[in-house]
Every structure is written in structure tokens, then in C-alpha cells.
Amino acid sequence: MKAREVNFDGLVGLTHHYAGLSFGNEASTKHRFRVSNPKLAAKQGLLKMKALADAGFPQGVIPPQERPNIAVLRQLGFSGSDEQVVEKAASQAPQILSAASSASAMWVANAATVCPSADALDNKVHFTVANLNNKFHRAIEAPSTEALLRAIFRDETAFAVHPALPQVAMFGDEGAANHNRFGGDYGEPGVQLFVYGREYASHDAPARYPARQTLEASQAVARINQLRAEQAVFARQNPDVIDLGVFHNDVIAVSNRQVLFCHELAFADQPTLLAQLQEKVPGFMALQVPQQAVSVSDAVATYLFNSQLLSRDDGSMMLVLPQESQQHAGVWRYLNTLLAQDNPISELKVFDLRESMANGGGPACLRLRVVLTAAEQQAVNPAVMMNDSLFATLNEWVDRYYRDRLTQADLADPQLLREGREALDRLTQLLNLGSVYPFQR
């Protein structure tokens, strides 16, 4: 069996709520303080996972993190029992409690940057955990992300999981959301494109929103993942589109094998980058969406590019989109024009992910792409792989533990902390993870 790309989706957590924590993410800010539905959010994600698994695309699950993060609240001076810590944070600093309760780890495109074994000097699959240090609510994810990845990819003869880069601005790293891989068959050596927003020492930066990924971080990740130097390409994101809400590269571009599907304004020096990829990637094809057909603002609003581009065995590709792209007349018209043209995209698959979308994450945000050989697939913890049984089990688990309504004020309820811990303790048993959460240790 050939190497395959396996998508590992994040399971939405029990404290999924809208707090507008992510400055620079237009959807996150727009939906601040609205009522969320964690149960629906989790079920929408599970439906996407199951549908893609049924369509023949291998699919795994990455569980949520423990929230609220009691350890970080204690670090910030809240004391007493765990319940008292929550109550004090709620009364004295509700925005800090909100950040410590964020379910943002569901967007596992930010969990790590992955290097397949075919690209690595030691022929292992490498994961470098992202530090996400531009946002407090995400910067606290790295230790648990590392523990969860080690529980899923636990065979150290096949996998190497690396801790996050230092938590300083110079090494701001947002994971696979700013990373693309090109090539022929998945098991062959490929070319990896690292997209950054700024160089640390440079004053050339977006004017309105922060550029979260640094060149220095991208270069460090390439070294840690043992990527061969000739297989790495570094390109700067267009600062003007960052200021329009393109906080990660995966909001303006998506790639698969030889194809790059992107907006014509995605990169700072796009013609030079495309020429470089043309030279390095046999059969390279750039599908550039013109501003005249779809504006950057419309692309951000519909998450057109925050889609999944998946290969079938016959070489054709399916584009997985949020329903917002279908509901926008201009974007949907463009997509059907694209479908009729001579390119590998032969099908559009639409999913309702509005609970995730309202917090600023679409289909591509919810998944981490991992290329695995047949032997490496066998080495993955089998309990996390999606099938009929796991789908039914996780839906029952969600029904038992998740609330169908949550506001920022509800985070003060100590019962939410107890519900979450009971749920995650059960989930570690269902997914054979061991004691990966702080409360279990």
C-alpha cells in the first residue's frame, strides 16, 4: 500500500464559546459574546470526519484539551481549590477566565508542523509543536498538544514529536496553518513551503493586524524536523491581506501534491514564488483566483481557501468547503467555473461547520495533515482512527457530557469544570491515550 495523507481532526471541546479572543481574526471578533452550542459544534466536526472516512480518506481524531486551564490561572495568582480558582477568576478577571477556557485547540492545523519520513534526514515522521505565542489563549496549548501527539504517535522508531520553540516573539510559530507540501506521490520526497508574515528584525510589517509567523520560526522548524535544505522554500505572506483578516496562510491558500489553489494576492512576491515552485516541483500547477472574481474580503468572509484539497486514487481532487462558500453567490459562481476548467479539481464537497466558522476556523483549521506509509499507519494509536464504531461511540460521549448552550458567564460555573474532567477522563479510555491531562496526574 502506498503512503497516504491522513487527516487528524480536532474534536471540539466542552467549553467552546465566543469571546472574540483572536485579534486579527475577523470572524472571531464579529461573533464575540454570542451564545455557542458546544454539542452541535462537536457533532458538526464528527460528521465531517465520518463523511471523509466513508469517502476513502483516512481520518483520525485529536481530542480536546482540559479547560479551564487551572494551572495557568494559578500561575496568574488565583488560589484556593480548583473550583475557587474558577470563581475568583470569573469575578476578578472574566476575560482571563475566558482565555483559560478557550476551546481553540480544536483547530489542530495550528497544533504542529509535520514533516513526512520521505522528507526527513532520519526517515522518521517529525512533529514540531507550535508555540502560538501571539495569543495568550493559544500559547497555553503547547504542553498538552505535545502530550496528546505523543499518545497518538507513540512509536518512537517511526515518529519524533518535538516541543514548541521558545515562547518569545522572535520565534512566533503557528504550525501547519502556514505550511504547505508539494510533490508527486505522497511517499516520494516533496518540497515544503513555509509561509511567514515577518522577519523579527525588520520593521516591514502589516499596519493593522499582527503577523503571527516569523521567518526565524519557520527556519527553526525546518531544521528541527530534519528537512533537507534543498526541499525547503520560504515565502512571505502579503502584509496587505493580513490587514484584511488573513491571519494564517491557510485563509488565503491551500495545496495538495502538485496543485496550489490560492488568491492572486496571497504572497508578497507571488510571481517569483510560483516560478521557484515551478522549478522545484515537477508538474506544478497554480490555480490563482483573481481579485476581480473573488475579493480578499469575500474569501475571508466565506473561508474559500480554508478548504481541504484531497486526492482520490484516480488522481482527481475534491475540494472540501464550508457552506458559507456555497451561500455566497459570487464565490459559488467562481467555484463552478473552476470545476468546469481543465484542472484536477472534480468535485466540491460542502459541510455545515458554522459553530467553528463563527469562531474563525473552517474545514482546514480543524485538521492536521500527516503523510504516512503503510507501516507508519500501523504504528499510529488505532483507537483514534475514525470508523463506524468510533463515530457512534463519540456521538454518545458528546450527548452525555456536552451542553447545547454556553455563554461567557457560564464559564464561572464550577460544575462545568467537573463535567469537563469527567468527560475527558472517559475519553482517554475510549481513545486509549493514557493519563495525558494535568488533572489525571
Closest CA relative to residue 195, chosen from 181, 221, 165, 215 = 215
Handedness of CA 286, 290, 295, 296 (dihedral sign): positive
Handedness of CA 105, 109, 113, 117 (dihedral sign): positive
Handedness of CA 379, 439, 101, 14 (dihedral sign): positive
Is-contact 202 194, C-beta < 8 A?
Answer: no
Is-contact 234 218, C-beta < 8 A?
Answer: yes
The residues, ordered by sequence, that sit 6+ positions from 156 with a Cβ below 8 Å of its Cβ are none
Which amino acid, one-letter code, is at 327? Q
Single out the catalytic residue among 248, 262, 263, 328: 248
Take residue 432 and report the three cell numbers written for it: 486509549
How many angstroms separate the CA atoms of 16 and 34, rounded?
A: 11
| Active site (annotated) includes residue 248 | yes
Is-contact 113 173, C-beta < 8 A?
Answer: yes
180: helix, strand or coil: strand
Is-contact 175 113, C-beta < 8 A?
Answer: yes
Single out the catalytic residue among 174, 216, 324, 376: 174
The residues, ordered by sequence, that sit 6+ positions from 239 with a Cβ below 8 Å of its Cβ are 197, 204, 205, 206, 207, 211, 268
Strands of the 367-372 sheet, one edge to the other: 59-62, 4-10, 367-372
How many angstroms separate the CA atoms of 272 and 277, rounded?
A: 9
Take residue 352 and report the three cell numbers written for it: 455545515
Strands of the 159-162 sheet, one edge to the other: 112-115, 125-129, 159-162
| Active site (annotated) includes residue 422 | no
Single out the catalytic residue among 126, 179, 365, 376: 365
Closest CA relative to residue 380, chosen from 142, 58, 32, 11 = 58
| Active site (annotated) includes residue 262 | no
Enumerate the active-site residues: 174, 248, 365
